[in-house]
Amino acid sequence: MIYWAQLLHFYQPPTQSHRVLARVCHESYRPLLQVFRDYPYARVTVNMCGVLTEMLSEHGYGDIIEMLKELAKNGQIEFTGSGKYHPILPLIPKGEVERQIMENAGTNRHFWAVLFLKASFRLSYAIAMILLSLFSKLDISGFSSVVLLAPLIGPWIWFMKLNLREEGWQFSFVMIF
C-alpha cells in the first residue's frame, strides 16, 4: 500500500498588506479548508508560522483560525511548528533559533490550545545536523517527532523524520520525487 502524506505550508510575511492577506484568505485558505470540511476522511498536516496565526486574528480572519481548530478537533489536521517569523534556522544564531521556536510554539498554543501540543516539528526547508542537539534540550514537550526537510539539486526533496521514543530518537529517511 502507498501512503501519501500532504504537508501544507501556510505563510504570509509579517509585513503583508491587509489587501493581499484578504485576497489570500478569500482565494486560498477558506476554499482549501472548506474542501477538508466537505471530505471528513481527508487528512493533512499544516505548518503555520505564529506570525500568520497572529495576523489572521489581528486582521479579522478568526473564522479561518476556527476552521483550522475544528478540523484539528476532528482529527483531520495535525499542526507542525517552525520558527515564528519563518527564519532559515540553520543560518541564524543558536539563541535566535531557540527564541523563534519557543515564540512560535507559544503563539500557536495560545490559539490552538492543546491541539497544537500533538504536533510534530518542522524546519524551514533547510537542515543542519547541529540543530538536532538543540531539539533535545528545548522544552518542546508534546511534540511527537521532528521532520527535517531539505531541497536537493533537481526535482527531489528529502526529509528525515525523527520520532521521539522512550529510548531516544528513531531516524527514518525518505526521498520525495
SS (H, E, C) 46-112: EEECHHHHHHHHHCCCHHHHHHHHHHHHCCCEEEEECCCCCCCHHHCCHHHHHHHHHHHHHHHHHHH
Cβ distance 33 to 8 under 8 Å? no
Radius of gyration of the chain (CA): 16
Q: What is the mean pLDDT of residues 67-73?
A: 92
Tell me the C-alpha distance between 62 and 53, whole Å: 9
Which of 70, 69, 53 has its CA nearest to residue 61?
53
Are 78 and 118 within 8 A, CB to CB? yes
Q: In the numeric block, which cell numbers belong to residue 82? A: 517552525
Residue span of the structural domain in which 170 resides: 7-176
Residue 68 maps to a domain: yes
Digit-coded pLDDT (tens) for 80-115:
778 899 887 778 888 898 899 889 888 988 887 755
Residue 168 is classified by DSSP as E
- Examine the pLDDT at 149 and tell me if it is beyond 80: no
Is 2 contained in some domain?
no
CATH of the domain at 131: 3.20.110.20
Asked if pLDDT for residue 158 goes beyond 60, the answer is no
- C-alpha 42/C-alpha 63 separation (Å) is 20
Number of folded domains that form the chain:
1
For residue 121, tell me if it sits in a domain: yes
**% residues pLDDT > 90 (the chain):** 34
Question: Does residue 149 lie within any of the structural domains?
Answer: yes
Q: What share of the chain is helix, strand, coil (3-state, %, to 5)?
A: 45, 25, 30
Domain-located, residue 1: no
Q: What is the pLDDT at residue 15? A: 93
| Mean pLDDT, all residues of the chain | 74
Provide the percentage of residues in the chain whose pLDDT is more than 70.
61
